[in-house]
Amino acid sequence: MTNMHRDFTKVGLNDDEEELLDILEERRRSSDLSFAFRTFSPQPYKAAPPCSTVELNRVVSESQFLRYVTKEVAVEKQLSVEEVQQEARGILGEMSQNLQLGFIRLMAYIFNKVFKRLYSAIFVNMEGLNRLHHATQENPVILMPNHRSYMDFLVISYILFIHDIPIPVIAAGIPLAGMKIVGEILRRSGAFFIRRAIGSDKLYWAVLSEYVRTLVRKGFAPLEFFVEGFRSRTLKSLSPKLGMMHMVLEPFFKGEVFDITLLPISISYDRVLEESLLAHELLGVPKPKESTMGLLKASRVLSEKYGSMHVNFGRPLSVRQLCEGRINRYQYNLTPRDLPEKSTAEAQACASWLAHLVVRKQEEGSQISPWSLMCGLLLQVPTRVLTEEGLPWHQLTEKTLWLRKLALDFGARLNWPDGVPDSDVMSSSAELHRSIVQRKAGCVFLVQEDEPSRKYPGSPEEGMMRTAAAALMLASYRNQCLHVFVRPALVATAIHITKCTQRDELFAFFSFLQDVFSHEFIFIPGESLQDFEEACSLLKKCGAVHISQQEVTVAQGGMEVLSFLQELLKPFIDSYQLVFGYLCEAESVILKEKEFLPAVRGLAAKLLLSAELHTYEALSSDLQKNVLSALRRLEALTKLSSSVSNEFKVNKSAVKRITDMLSGKIPPWNTQALPDARL
């Protein structure tokens, strides 16, 4: 019988449930070799004549745009045009993909073996695939998956190969190209490689942008890129990077294509292969360099089990429809299309709005595992209880079932298996993650890393860091469900901190919190009021608050929900306050990022050891960088233009005002005193 289960979406919307098909089930019954050599006959984009990779590169090299930029660079660098053209050809050769069906078949053979070994199932929403199949024939398609694991890079092409949908060309980091043999296999499987640090290299930007625009104009193949830019080390959504977004949208802005289809894709994992690696990177351990030898050494992961993967292909988004009324495309008729021009503020705002919308669609389409809910609860238990006493299993399971109901009330998609006893679902989830928690004598304990053998006992700092790695892994899995709760949690936090009931005052504080945490969570620009109204509605729906035209008041029995939501945000508030305090007390107003990160981590470690701080998330380098980004947004931190090593000037009085606001010392009606608070 085909392995299918239901996608539990919003309660009461049974018509919106989609059946998910396990695509590995049939693969397990067939030969890997016969699968790799199956007939592959995708339907191409109707408006695009066939185009080879050589032809594509020739069109890019001979474009009027690149010729114009080449002449400019030659003048600026005092080189001959031929020398700059040679450099441009070198960049294009380093960058370009060389998609070949033979290598797609090779990758299909390898992926089939690897995926069957690692995962119990890969569930895909077939309706979404059918929509994609149609979309690829009508318009240029941009595939936009979230990025949580190296597996993301592989699984989309694997699924499309199975279902006769054109294989995408994929934007990848240049380090992958340097992997012996593997880099060339990836290139011939559709990867094109982009340097991480482009900076102000005018020629490189020109080659890259022309290459991407040509891919879109020609409809060569679906184009896949990660709008978040990087793999998320915290397993929650990152603020979108807009460079590639501008490039793929420009052919539409300039009228070179009638429409472009954006397709959000949500990839969810029961267990992420890199869970331990990601936690240690957050603690300051350098990321291993991508290499073929490193890949071979990592093959030991094949002996582990990683549960299931869910891939949700979202509804296609028409750029033409979404941009209507947001951008005046007639302005692009005023200059020749082939001349380089800086994006207008209107175009930048439109690209930002679309990018944030796509990330929100990715969040809405993601599947939340029972383990994610369990982690949200475990992190609200004192660490000492988890490491020494243990949390009674029955308490965790009872509370998880309570949280499941709340998540469904809030519109979450849960991958809670049908027809399996709840106790078995939670037991198997804990067993899958036995590297993080273990059950003993009816209690749950946090697993700490093994202490290395040594003559003398380790220091308290070393013990604390071993606990921190496990705590950050818990936090990462909790982060997979944060998008469901974050808006109601902001309202709950506003009620708790301000002690107010007036809607306008709560909204002012809610908007302030969105500004502070703008790099921690995804908020679509200009939609604060809609977010606030939605959050209040969800809290009313679950019986936590009463809402009138003027007030939001706590309902009798509503404190259980509000307390949980407040505690969900508390690690972020405490960590931000720690960084704010460090900046206010620092001797200098000049901050160097490379010195700031270890200094804040050292301060957090000291406070954790003295029990003055209770969240290990303050040790996370990503969170610390997010604080700096938020302060720049609030104009409390200014990057020094002359700096090449990320140096900033701190406005201590502005940071102090933000600190006082976050702690409730400044009332919500005074938020306008904050710099650039968009309320």
Of 6 and 20, more confident: 20
Checking if the pLDDT of 290 tops 90, the result is no
Q: How many residues does the chain have?
A: 679
d(CA 551, CA 504) in angstroms, rounded, equals 8
Strands (E), 301-422: 308-313, 317-318, 391-392
d(CA 245, CA 226) in angstroms, rounded, equals 10
If DSSP states are collapsed to H, E and C, what string results for 432-459? HCCCCEEEECCEEEECCCCCCCCCCCCC
What letters, b where the CB count within 10 A reaches 16 and e where it falls short, cover 126-137?
A: bebbebbbebbb
**Average pLDDT in the 25-54 region?**
89
Sign of CA dihedral 205, 211, 214, 215: negative
* pLDDT tens per residue, range 592-626: 988 999 999 999 999 999 999 999 999 999 999 99
The pLDDT value recorded for residue 583 is 96
Of 125 and 181, more confident: 125
* pLDDT tens per residue, range 351-388: 999 999 999 999 999 999 999 999 999 999 999 999 99
Report, in this order, helix, strand and coil percent for the chain, each rounded to 5.
Answer: 55, 10, 35
What pLDDT band is residue 150 in, cutting at 50, 70 and 90?
confident
3-state secondary structure of 410: coil
What pLDDT band is residue 458 in, cutting at 50, 70 and 90?
low
Q: Are 597 and 280 in contact (CB under 8 A)?
A: no
The pLDDT value recorded for residue 3 is 53
Strand partners, 443: 392, 440
The pLDDT value recorded for residue 530 is 97
Tokens of 453: 């053998």
If DSSP states are collapsed to H, E and C, what string results for 579-613? HHHHHHHCCCCEEEHHHHHHHHHHHHHHHHHCCCC
Of 226-230, 296-300, 398-402, the one with minimum mean pLDDT is 296-300
The H or E element containing residue 172 is strand 169-173
Q: Are 600 and 578 in contact (CB under 8 A)?
A: yes
Percent of residues, the chain, with pLDDT higher than 70: 92
The pLDDT value recorded for residue 108 is 94
Q: Which of 174, 189, 356 is nearest to 262 (CA)?
A: 356
CA-based end-to-end distance of the chain: 55
- All domains of the chain, ordered by start, with CATH? 49-365 (3.40.1130)
The pLDDT value recorded for residue 161 is 96
Q: How far is CA 583 from each of CA 281, 458, 634, rounded to the nearest angstrom?
A: 23, 31, 15
What pLDDT band is residue 676 in, cutting at 50, 70 and 90?
very low
Surface-to-core class of residue 322, CB atoms within 10 Å of its CB (0-12 exposed, 13-18 middle, 19+ buried) = middle
What is the DSSP annotation of 210-267?
HHHHHHHHHT-S-EE--TTSS--TTSSPPPPP-HHHHHHHHHHHTTSSS--EEEEEEE
What pLDDT band is residue 93 in, cutting at 50, 70 and 90?
very high
Of 6 and 333, more confident: 333
Average model confidence (pLDDT) for the chain? 90
The pLDDT value recorded for residue 613 is 95
The pLDDT value recorded for residue 610 is 94
What letters, b where the CB count within 10 A reaches 16 and e where it falls short, cover 519-533?
A: bbbbbbeebbeebbe
Measured N-to-C along each axis, helices 621-633 and 559-585 cross at an angle, to the nearest 10 degrees, of 80
Sign of CA dihedral 287, 288, 290, 295: negative
**Average pLDDT in the 650-656 region?**
95
Checking if the pLDDT of 66 tops 70, the result is yes
**Average pLDDT in the 21-43 region?**
93
Tokens of 157: 């092409």
The pLDDT value recorded for residue 44 is 82
The pLDDT value recorded for residue 669 is 59
The pLDDT value recorded for residue 43 is 87
Sign of CA dihedral 166, 169, 172, 174: positive
Checking if the pLDDT of 212 tops 60, the result is yes
Q: Are 677 and 669 in contact (CB under 8 A)?
A: no
Surface-to-core class of residue 111, CB atoms within 10 Å of its CB (0-12 exposed, 13-18 middle, 19+ buried) = buried
Tokens of 228: 């978040």
Beta strands 552-554; 545-547: pairing state: antiparallel
**Average pLDDT in the 480-487 region?**
98
Percent of residues, the chain, with pLDDT higher than 90: 78
Q: Which of 226, 249, 222 is nearest to 237 (CA)?
A: 226
d(CA 559, CA 436) in angstroms, rounded, equals 30
Which residues, other chains included, contact 386 with Cβ-Cβ below 8 Å and sequence gap of 6+? Answer: 378, 437, 444, 445, 446
The pLDDT value recorded for residue 291 is 64
Checking if the pLDDT of 628 tops 80, the result is yes
Checking if the pLDDT of 568 tops 70, the result is yes
The pLDDT value recorded for residue 9 is 36
Q: What angle do CA 325, 330, 250 make, to 5 degrees?
A: 80
d(CA 343, CA 461) in angstroms, rounded, equals 49
Checking if the pLDDT of 585 tops 90, the result is yes
